[in-house]
Chain A
Amino acid sequence: MIKFLIKGLVRDRSRSLFPLLTVAIGVFLTVVFYCWMQGIVGDMLQTTARFEAGHVKVMSRAYAREADQIPNDLALLGAGKLLDELRRDHPSLTWTSRIRFGGLLDVPDEKGETKAQAPVAGLAVDLLSHSSSEPGILNLAGGLVRGRLPRQRGEILVSDDLAGRLGLELGGTVTLIGSSMYGSLITANFTLAGTIRFGVQAIDRGMMVADLEDVRLALDMQDAAGEVLGFLHGGFYDDVQAGRLAGAFNALPRKADDPFSPVMETLRQQSGLGDMVDMMNTVVGALVAIFVLAMCVVLWNAGLMGNIRRYGEIGVRLAMGEAKGRVYRSMIAESLILGFIGSLIGTALGLVLAYVLQANGINFGSLFEKATLLMSTSMRARVTPVSFVIGFVPGLLATAAGASIAGLGLFKRQTSRLLKELEA
């Protein structure tokens, strides 16, 4: 039966080509759209994790309450001991201390007077230890535009855009003007080792990366860290695992009224990121649903058109005594075959394009000039296991649904009028 139907579809291309193309294009667009949205959300999470939140973050309770303001006066003291404990108790994560800070980067002229000055967002990470995972997490080597990575104390990386604006030369001295942990105005000299571009507009506008110990000295933060970040092995955020870890850490007995005792937050818990991701997932889900619904309507319409075109053929089949149910089932079987082949082609083509976009991405840098979101300017798709079925299943079912609805007209046709219809 199936072989017979396939033969009919292959021989009568006008019956199969348009529905097949419709299904394939619809599935292709669904797969690409889904992968693209997954890529954007995933990229945002990944970038936020790398630069700001980690997969889990340990802060003092007081710091966590005002984390948006980067209150270094509320930083964790005894960060070295805490880091050792975290590494010992949770070896499945990569742990690292960081200090985020803000200030002005001041470039002196030959007399030591200010030649140029610009606001800078600073990130202090362990750059110089041999065992440091930070260069890998931040992909410093990959983002290097000029110069080299810092090799000794006092050397920093500055975003290439900022270095260009300030006219910084490699090996030149710059002065950071900022606030110490105790609120005093501080100045600290650094040497420019290289310039970097992370591909995130909000960061590339004005960022400096310095060694943690240098910044501790400059900001009067001996053995202190604003944040201790933990990254799950494999590099991907797992909300369940992170939530379990944070729950266990926060359940440890500590002084309840001590605002400086450590607290762990997951990536989703920080800065309302979870709500934003949930909202984006809802929007993506709604968009995919609307897309699939629209495809159903198109395929239903295709089924209707096909049936109208095949009005005579069906009439003959009914007149020859073929049961309405059998004709109806054969129409659904045909549509399932078309849906299967179309979905297969659409999914395959969609995945090919999604993989290309995952590997290369499209640069939307000009759209992000004033953006403050931690999103890569190069937007990439992301192929997930769901990508393989997100278009295939609706493609298959929508075709069948379209044929089922369109085929219902069969049962309204009266055998007594068939000959008249055929004569006409």
Chain B
Amino acid sequence: MRNTWKMVYCQRSLVRAWLAAAAAAMMLGHSSLAAQAPSADWILGQVDGTRTSGNKIILSEMIIHGRRGSRSVRAKSWIQGVERSFSEYLDPPREKGTKMLKLAGQLWIYSPATDRTILISGHLLRQSVMGSDLSYEDMMEDPVLANSYEAGLAGEESVLERPCWKLELTAQKSEVSYPRRMLWVDKERFVVLKEERFAKSGKLLKTAEVKSVRRMQGRWIPDRVVFRDVLLNGQGTEFNIESIEFDASIPEYVFSKASLRK
């Protein structure tokens, strides 16, 4: 069975055939679908496929619900593959001009107020990004989950009224931030609609809940996600994608330290 699915993974035509079969099975009933469930590794591969793409330029807004009220931060990001990204904050005025550069395993932040470029490393990685529920560590993790985790199918549930595969991911590397994760993956679109991230002790650390999914340039994109750091006991951070441009042309100099000061 496992070999069969590996073959399917390699041949796109067969994938389409499986999707058709799966759709038919959905119509026939839940139990029959469970019997034909694809392997967790294959589902994770599909998830990684939807999460990562070539070049893209994203205009986003973070609404941070803190203990003393909410505030929003807008940013523009240039992303190339999974290893290179450059972000510039546009709003609020206090954060305007702050830039971040991620190159492979390193992250620099530039503050116009001090004209300093600081390498974010060590415990600074655990700092919150602009006071949100996301940390720099979260930004630095390998977006290809299959590189770091082994997946297991933990069942099926419905999220946002969409049938989902429930995947349990167990870390294969010791350096990952979350040794265990639970993903709820849309069966049809392979978009993660809900996620829980756990510590080694089993304590729930962070959650992510997709509030809406939009089709943009032929791809399904979760354009409104609420991240919550459970330990902060706050209302969470809403991450909204205002616009996204796939396969964008991004000059090479953008991903250099010199561009931080420009």
A-side interface residues toward B, CB under 8 Å? 62, 73-74, 104, 106, 108, 112-114, 175, 177, 179-180, 182-189, 220, 260
Contact = CB atoms under 8 A, between A and B. Distances in A.
A189 B130 contact: no
Nearest to B127: A185
Nearest to A180: B131
B66 A112 contact: no
A185 B68 contact: no
A178 to B, nearest CB: 9
A187 B119 CA distance: 12
Contacts of B120: 185
A177 B124 contact: yes
Contact of A188 (B68, B114, B124, B127): B114
Contacts of A177: 118, 124
Given A106-B116, A112-B115, A189-B114, A184 B130 contact: yes
Contact of A175 (B67, B118, B131): B118
Given A108-B116, A113-B117, A114-B119, A185 B67 contact: no
A185 B128 contact: yes
A188 B129 CA distance: 17
Contacts of A185: 109, 120, 124, 127-130, 136
B116 A182 contact: no
Interface residues of B, number: 25
A346 B167 CA distance: 80
B103 to A, nearest CB: 15
A112 B218 CA distance: 44
A104 B124 contact: yes
B59 to A, nearest CB: 20
Interface string B160-181: 0000000000000000000000
16 contacts: A74-B68, A104-B124, A106-B116, A106-B118, A112-B116, A114-B119, A175-B114, A175-B118, A179-B128, A185-B120, A185-B127, A186-B111, A187-B109, A187-B113, A187-B118, A260-B68
A207 to B, nearest CB: 19
A106 B116 CA distance: 10
Contacts of B124: 104, 177, 185
B60 interface: no
B150 interface: no
A220 B114 contact: no
B85 interface: no
Nearest to A74: B67
A236 B117 CA distance: 47
Interface string B92-118: 001100000000000001010111111
B30 interface: no
Lowest 5 A-B CB distances belong to which pairs? A183-B131, A182-B131, A187-B111, A184-B131, A183-B128
B64 interface: yes
B6 interface: no
B176 to A, nearest CB: 22
Contacts of B132: 183
B218 to A, nearest CB: 36
B71 interface: yes
Nearest to B89: A184
A127 to B, nearest CB: 21
Most chain A CB inside 10 Å of its own CB: which residue of B68, B120, B124, B129: B68
A180 B130 CA distance: 9
A184 B216 CA distance: 31
A177 B123 CA distance: 12
A220 B93 CA distance: 12
A188 B98 CA distance: 13
B114 A183 contact: no
